[in-house]
């Protein structure tokens, strides 16, 4: 049989065991609660997710206001250096030698003279390309021998020129015969200064006169008005005409020394043009 002291000691021991059990149960319950909460909370995913927040641009630093500085003078651009190829091209594009230009001018003059000669070889009254000139002085030894004035040009003309004057009669015409020298050779000139009613009429008559084989206003030799020592008729001669407003001047020049005289002679044509320009300015 147990003594009363032993029974008295067992009761507190049982009471202490119960208290420990309750503490253990409370501790376990707390652990369970924490575990449950940790499982219920969302955890990180194993799949990387894109950041929904757009990246903000890095703010640029505010531009600093530079203090005004003294303007530097502009430096001249460096002169480009030309390559040998470019220099060769520039040399090839330079002006041709003077000798080449002279030869080209001579060839051009020959071609023009040949064309004029061919065009003037088509009829007995070959002229008719007028030669322009700016000279107004008289040729060497120029002297007027015979002159007259007419007012009915149509009755003193022939060929298509007569028809042209019938359509556009002149106001008056001053005809003359003169002598002179061309390159030291004696020459004879027949000149007609024709005043028309208008510049249009003068241009219409000039167009006919400048044609080949179209007739002419009769010179004084043809109508028997001459001077001592003059030829019976005008030799083959160079022709020229000048129009100044309503005034039309026609001149012919030919050699009278018995030597060659031709309508294609450039010296005769130039001298006729010189006389026509001079007479056209006279009143």
Give residue 28's pLDDT.
72
Q: How far is residue 137's CA from residue 151's CA, in Å, rounded to a whole number?
A: 27
In a domain, 176, yes or no: yes
Which ranges constitute the DSSP H helices of the chain?
Answer: 4-40, 84-92, 98-119, 159-167, 199-209, 266-280
* Count: domains in the chain: 1
Give residue 14's pLDDT.
45
In a domain, 33, yes or no: no
In a domain, 192, yes or no: yes
Q: Structure pTM?
A: 0.55
In a domain, 80, yes or no: no
> Quick one: which of 150, 146, 149, 157 has its CA closest to 230?
146
Give residue 282's pLDDT.
84
Q: How far is residue 155's CA from residue 218's CA, in Å, rounded to a whole number?
A: 9
Range of the domain at 142: 130-280
Per-residue pLDDT in tens (0 to 9) along the chain, 283 residues: 444 444 444 444 444 445 555 666 666 767 767 765 555 444 444 344 444 444 444 545 444 444 444 444 455 454 444 444 445 444 445 555 666 665 666 556 655 555 544 444 444 444 455 444 445 688 999 999 999 999 999 999 999 999 999 999 999 999 999 999 999 999 999 999 999 999 999 999 999 999 999 999 999 999 999 999 999 999 999 999 999 999 999 999 999 999 999 999 999 999 999 999 999 988 7
Q: How far is residue 212's CA from residue 161's CA, in Å, rounded to a whole number?
A: 11
In a domain, 242, yes or no: yes
Q: How many CB atoms within 10 Å of residue 117?
A: 15
| C-beta of residue 231 within 8 angstroms of C-beta of residue 214 | no
Q: How far is residue 77's CA from residue 114's CA, in Å, rounded to a whole number?
A: 56
Give residue 108's pLDDT.
62
In a domain, 23, yes or no: no
């Amino acid at each position: 049989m147990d003594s009363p002291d032993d029974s008295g000691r067992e009761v507190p021991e049982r009471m202490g065991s119960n208290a420990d059990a309750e503490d253990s149960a409370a501790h376990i319950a707390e652990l369970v609660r924490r575990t449950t909460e940790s499982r219920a909370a969302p955890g990180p995913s194993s799949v990387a997710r894109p950041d929904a927040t757009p990246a903000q641009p890095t703010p640029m630093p505010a531009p600093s206001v530079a203090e005004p500085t003294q303007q530097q003078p502009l430096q001249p651009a460096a002169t480009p250096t030309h390559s040998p190829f470019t220099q060769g091209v520039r040399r090839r594009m330079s002006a041709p030698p003077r000798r080449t230009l002279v030869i080209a001018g001579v060839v051009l003059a020959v071609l023009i003279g040949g064309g004029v000669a061919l065009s003037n070889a088509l009829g007995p009254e070959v002229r008719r390309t007028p030669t322009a000139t700016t000279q107004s002085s008289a040729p060497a030894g120029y002297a007027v021998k015979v002159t007259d004035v007419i007012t009915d040009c149509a009755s003193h003309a022939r060929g298509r020129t007569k028809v042209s004057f019938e359509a556009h009669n002149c106001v008056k015409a001053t005809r003359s015969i003169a002598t002179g020298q061309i390159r030291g050779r004696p020459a004879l000139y027949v000149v007609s200064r024709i005043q028309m009613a208008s510049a249009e009429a003068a241009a219409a008559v000039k167009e006919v006169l400048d044609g080949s084989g179209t007739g002419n206003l009769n010179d004084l030799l043809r109508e028997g008005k001459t001077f001592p020592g003059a030829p019976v008729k005008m030799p083959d001669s160079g022709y020229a005409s000048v129009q100044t407003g309503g005034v039309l001047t026609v001149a012919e020049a030919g050699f009278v020394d018995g030597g060659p005289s031709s309508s294609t002679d450039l010296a005769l044509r130039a001298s006729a043009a010189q006389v026509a320009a001079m007479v056209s300015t006279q009143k």
